[in-house]
Homo-oligomer: A and B are copies of this chain.
Amino acid sequence: MQARIIDAVVEMVAEKSISGTTLANVASAAGVSQGVLVFHFKSKEGLLTQAMVRLLEEYRQAWQPAMASADPLERIVGLVRADFDPAICTRKKLALWFAFWGETAAKPIYNRLASESEEERFQAMKHACEDVAGIARISDPVGLAQSIDAHTDGLWLQMHLQGSDFTREMGLNSALSHVRLLLPELARRI
């Protein structure tokens, strides 16, 4: 039930953004009464917060497994691939990310969740880049990590704005090309 409700929230936020998401249309989309939304999630903000929590958890589950590899290059590529995973990088979910990012200035809770997620993922990328400096000549591993992350974030923006003109596959190719460019010594392995 809770999952079904959050599904409906995701649907509504993706379609109508946060200002257009109401208890009424979430309840209608989930096929339940408005009362049950408040019973389970306390408020509209609780509803949206849980939707964001689930989004961030899904995202973490997409990149976390790749961190088990001993090879730092595999970890870097794993992190990049996760950003363009078919389960993660959908039009709907990109719309969700941007909807929440659009509210971070007004709602500290969204900012906290987004920052923590971003930071956790960045630390993983940073460690992988620091480790990869052991097998390739890298002058600034932290800068490398920032550059890879910034690039993928920028591609998300382009995918979000350009719609279906810019596909997931194009994004992944661009992101991997960028990594090859930054790690020419290891390019043949990517």
Residue numbers of A with Cβ under 8 A of B are 14-20, 91, 95, 98-107, 111, 114-115, 118, 140, 143, 146-147, 149-155, 157-158, 160-163, 174, 177-178, 181-182
Looking at the assembled complex, report how far the CB atom of A8 sits from the nearest CB atom of chain B, in whole angstroms: 16
Q: Known: A17-B106, A101-B101, A106-B20. Is A154-B161 also a contact (CB below 8 A)?
A: no
Inter-chain CA distance A33–B43, complex, in Å, is 32
Contact B154 A16 (CB under 8 A): no
The copy count of this chain in the complex is 2
Cβ of A181 and Cβ of B147 under 8 Å apart? yes
- By the criterion CB–CB under 8 Å, are A150 and B174 in contact? yes
List the B side residues contacting A155 at CB < 8 Å.
Answer: 150
Chain B residues with CB under 8 A of A177: 140, 143
Measured CA separation A104–B71 after assembly (Å): 39
Contact A107 B17 (CB under 8 A): yes
For A19, A158, A162, A182, the residue with the greatest tally of chain B CB atoms inside 10 Å of its CB is A19
| Residue of B whose beta carbon sits closest to that of A140 | B177
Which residue of the partner chain B has the closest CB to A100?
B102
- If over half of A's interface residues share one DSSP class (helix, strand or loop), that class is named, otherwise mixed; here it is helix
Enumerate chain B residues within 8 angstroms of A20, measured Cβ to Cβ: 106
Closest to A151 in B: B150
The distance from the CB of A188 to the nearest CB of chain B, in whole angstroms, is 15
Among residues of B, the one whose C-beta sits closest to the C-beta of A12 is B106
Q: Which of B14, B111, B147 contacts A161 (CB 8 A)?
A: B111
Q: Quick one: closest B residue to A157, CB to CB?
A: B153
Given contacts A19-B18, A153-B153, contact A161 B98 (CB under 8 A): no
A16 CB contacts on chain B under 8 angstroms: 106
Q: Is the CB of B161 within 8 A of A118?
A: yes
